[in-house]
Amino acid sequence: MELLQPSDHLVVNVDVLGITEHHGLYIGNDEVIHLCAHAKQVILSCLATFSDDKEIRVKRHAPYPQDAIDYAKQQVGKPGYDVATNNCEHFVNRC
């Protein structure tokens, strides 16, 4: 795995077939902010919990790293998960 930078868009395959992905925003210090389907809200997790020990891919860097991190931190605890209209990938893309 490449060295992670704050504001990296992280992607983890969550099923055996590699079809379903989970997305999060790396904010540094082994922490990831992501919209969790199970909790139905934006949460802060350690990197190991986010990845569930699966391979992590870096999709892209946010164009304005600190703005992305600040926005993500402001969203922690906010509800609103919807698989079709407001999922984890949508959340990271808004950051």
**What CATH number does the domain containing 58 carry?**
3.90.1720.10
3 domain residue, yes or no: no
Domain hosting 85: range is 8-94
In a domain, 75, yes or no: yes
Sign of the torsion angle spanned by Cα atoms 67, 86, 93, 56: positive
Task: Give me 93's structure tokens.
Answer: 């893309």
In a domain, 13, yes or no: yes
Low-confidence stretches of the chain (pLDDT < 70) are 1-2
As for how many domains the chain has, the answer is: 1
For residue 60, the model assigns a pLDDT of 80
In the prediction, which pLDDT does 85 show? 94
Residue 83: inside a domain: yes
What pLDDT is stored for residue 1 in this prediction? 53
pLDDT digits (tens, 9 = 90+) for 26-43: 999 999 999 999 999 999
DSSP-based three-state secondary structure for 44: strand
- DSSP annotation of 54 reads S
* Secondary element (H or E) of residue 57: strand 56-61
Residue 36 resides in a domain: yes
pLDDT of residue 17: 84
Predicted local confidence at residue 59, as pLDDT: 87
In a domain, 2, yes or no: no
